[in-house]
Amino acid sequence: MELFGTSGLRGLVNAGLTPNLAVRVGMALGTFIGKGKVLLARDTRFSGLMLENALVSGLLGCGLGVYCLGVLPTPVLAYLTKRLGADAGLMVTASHNPPQYNGIKVFDGNGMAYDEKRQEKLEKIVESGDFRLTEWCNLGETKYGDESQSQPYVDMVLKGIKLGKKWRVVVDPGCGATGSIAPKIFKALGCDVKAINAQPDGFFPGRSPEPNAESLKPLAKIVKAFGADIGVAYDGDGDRAAFIDENGAFVDFDRVLAACAAHVLKKCEGGTVVTNVEASMCVEKMVEASGGKVVRTRVGDVYVAEAVKKFRAAFGGEPCGAWIHTEYHLCPDGILSSVLLLKALEDEGKSLSEFVADVPAYPVLRKNVRCRSEIKDAVVGRVERLLKRTFPDCRLISRVDGVRLSLEGGWVLVRASGTEPLIRLTVEGESLKTAEAIMDRALAAVNKALEDLEK
């Protein structure tokens, strides 16, 4: 059984993720840490309090103290875990997933998300049921904080960032965890703020908790009507941000990531930028032109954060809108992303559409091929050899996540889906024609590998 995935534990409430499982995760974490204090927060999901109470129960039973902070964004919880000297942080969230889901994400005392190794250790304890419960007289205690507990985070942002212009900003927290803190920070920075979907509501009635071009159509209209400079939206737990420009257009995730990476590198005169294998090659184009280099990781914010730390990178980010601002902390932070983007626009004297205009837009093609889950990994392994033969001009092969070939004028990525019986193909090309040609040849290689293995 694999409980924890690339972004903590996720599941359908009272199907995969029950109070029983949450109490066992609480006891497993208590057993793993042994003693100390755990900070706990949740997003606005309807099931949040049910899971929080179960986690608290498990932790108290192991003698740990728990400090419950209520509804807060994930990056705020991560920051406070380190800042308040806790031994771990627990976030109850399913991020951008639909309302019937929830999840548990674990942070260490440095505010870093638990990596695979530590997640596996927790999993083993959950499975074995080998919990170290304490004697009745040593049970932990619970403290409850309120929103004022987030003040050290607000101070950190306001101390680090000053804006000269009175920006007109429409903020859309999507009824998630950023509803109160994000508008407050923009106001404190002197912006003219209009907030929509800022009321906490675990049914997410305003829009899907996943910000994308489709779910942000209403925000785009309001940005135009309000004559705003920017529209900012977050996912359910606030580690991702997405943007609408001053013309009311959704800003492409890859291009704004590349523009911000280039801006950071210009300021620190080169350095490393970390992104995942799925991001557009426009990131390399912009980063290399600014004297930096790109390191690519597996998909998942934990991997990006690890690489950021390892390579002492200047900036890290995934094209889903989860960016890491290394000067502040190592948890992807949507609020910081949006505030720092405004600061970048101000420094460069540009509007948001002008800021991304220099970044090339390349066509991306995606295809899924059905494949039995048992042979997915074998197919990807076999495809590697076939792809090398298909593309003899290949410049670089990466196996950090599936197989990724960098080609003249484009790239192809073949991955086994983590959750479905599918092989996923992603292709990017400098032109649509190039992308289509790469896709045709890569698809033929995948089909051939499938055929060979099904023989």
C-alpha 280/C-alpha 362 separation (Å) is 8
How far apart are CB 431 and Mg ion at their closest, in Å? 34
Of residues 237 and 246, the one with the C-beta less far from Mg ion? 237
Per-residue three-class SS string for the chain: CCCEEECEEEEEECCCECHHHHHHHHHHHHHHHCCCEEEEEECCCCCHHHHHHHHHHHHHHCCCEEEEEEECCHHHHHHHHHHCCCCEEEEECCCCCCCCEEEEEEEECCCCECCHHHHHHHHHHHHHCCCCCCCHHHCCCEEECCHHHHHHHHHHHHHHCCCCCCCEEEEECCCCCCCCHHHHHHHHCCCEEEECCCCCCCCCCCCCCCCCCCCCHHHHHHHHHHCCCEEEEECCCCCEEEEECCCCCECCHHHHHHHHHHHHHHHHCCEEEEEECCCCCHHHHHHHHCCEEEEEECCCHHHHHHHHHHCCCCEEEECCCEEECCCCCCCCCHHHHHHHHHHHHHHHCCCHHHHHHCCCCCCEEEEEEECCHHHHHHHHHHHHHHHHHHCCCCCEEECCCCEEEEECCEEEEEEECCCCCEEEEEEEECCHHHHHHHHHHHHHHHHHHHHHHHC
Q: Could you give the C-alpha distances from 119 to 67, 86, 91, 122, 329, in angstroms and in order?
A: 22, 18, 14, 5, 21
Interacting residues with Mg ion (CB under 5 A): 95, 235, 237, 239
How far apart are CB 79 and Mg ion at their closest, in Å? 15
Q: Which of 47, 95, 215, 290 is catalytic?
A: 95
Of residues 52 and 235, the one with the C-beta less far from Mg ion? 235
Of residues 231 and 321, the one with the C-beta less far from Mg ion? 321
Residue, CB closest to Mg ion:
95
Q: Which residue has the tokens 């197919």?
A: 379
How far apart are CB 64 and Mg ion at their closest, in Å? 26
How far apart are CB 241 and Mg ion at their closest, in Å? 10
Output the CA torsion sign for 118, 124, 126, 131: negative
Output the CA torsion sign for 190, 193, 199, 205: negative
How far apart are CB 42 and Mg ion at their closest, in Å? 13
Of residues 237 and 254, the one with the C-beta less far from Mg ion? 237
Read off the tokens for 320.
């889903």
How far apart are CB 212 and Mg ion at their closest, in Å? 13
Of residues 229 and 237, the one with the C-beta less far from Mg ion? 237
Of residues 239 and 284, the one with the C-beta less far from Mg ion? 239
How far apart are CB 286 and Mg ion at their closest, in Å? 25
Of residues 105 and 263, the one with the C-beta less far from Mg ion? 105
Q: Decide if 95 is catalytic.
A: yes
How far apart are CB 153 and Mg ion at their closest, in Å? 16
What are the φ/ψ torsions at residue 407 (nearest 5 degrees)? -120, 170
Of residues 237 and 428, the one with the C-beta less far from Mg ion? 237
Q: What residues are annotated to the active site?
A: 95
